[in-house]
Amino acid sequence: MTYSILILNGPNLNLLGTRQPEVYGSTTLANIEATCSAKAEQLGVSLTFAQSNHEGELVDMIHAARGQHAGVILNAGAYTHTSIALMDAISSTMIPVVELHLSNIHAREEFRKISYIARVAVGQICGFGAAGYPLAMEALVSHLEATK
């Protein structure tokens, strides 16, 4: 079965490659999209990529994903630690979401250890840099296969 997956990136991820490379790596968002597109071919899935620095736009994209995508990979950036609105959007749509972070949020500042997304996500991948994206794709497809 072919699944459609939305890869949704939150605030400041448009600056990947130049933003704190010691924390987030030197890979750009465009490089990540290319890697994910190649992985999608291997997995036989279709992808849609989106990025926004605005919380309401991310909420709208999660709402729109219902009925259009089988699941979402969400790197909510800093909204992970603050956004009850994103948490509510995920739980309201009941679409499977894999939470993703480039850095290991559990090894960083105390406030980054709190994730509102984790409460409603099917799982979380963090700390593997850009390699986390294809891992998240594999995990989501595995989840979709197990629950179909």
Q: How many CB atoms lie within 10 A of CB 79?
A: 23
Residue 15 has pLDDT above 90, yes or no: no
Give the separation between CA 71 and CA 103, rounded to whole angstroms: 22
Helix 132-147, helix 29-43: angle, nearest 10: 40
Are 85 and 59 within 8 A, CB to CB? yes
Residue 69 appears among annotated catalytic residues: no
* Residue with token string 């279709």: 46
Options 24, 79, 116, 133, the catalytic residue: 24
Greater confidence, 45 or 20? 45
Number of domains forming the structure of the chain: 1
* CATH number of the CATH domain containing 119: 3.40.50.9100
- Closest to 119 (Cα-Cα) out of 88, 74, 78, 76: 88
Length of the chain: 148
Residue 24 appears among annotated catalytic residues: yes
Which domain, by its residues, includes 73? Answer: 4-147
- 35-86 residue pLDDT tens: 999 999 999 999 999 999 999 999 999 999 999 999 999 999 999 999 999 9
Structure confidence at residue 1 (pLDDT): 60
What φ, ψ does residue 95 adopt, rounded to 5°? -90, 135
- Closest to 73 (Cα-Cα) out of 43, 95, 98, 55: 98
* Residue with token string 């679409």: 95
Structure confidence at residue 19 (pLDDT): 73
Confidence of residue 16 (pLDDT cuts 50, 70, 90): confident
Structure confidence at residue 111 (pLDDT): 87
Options 3, 69, 79, 101, the catalytic residue: 101
Beta bridge partners of 5: 47, 71
Structure confidence at residue 24 (pLDDT): 65
pTM here is 0.93
- 89-141 residue pLDDT tens: 999 999 999 999 999 999 888 888 899 999 999 999 999 999 999 999 999 99
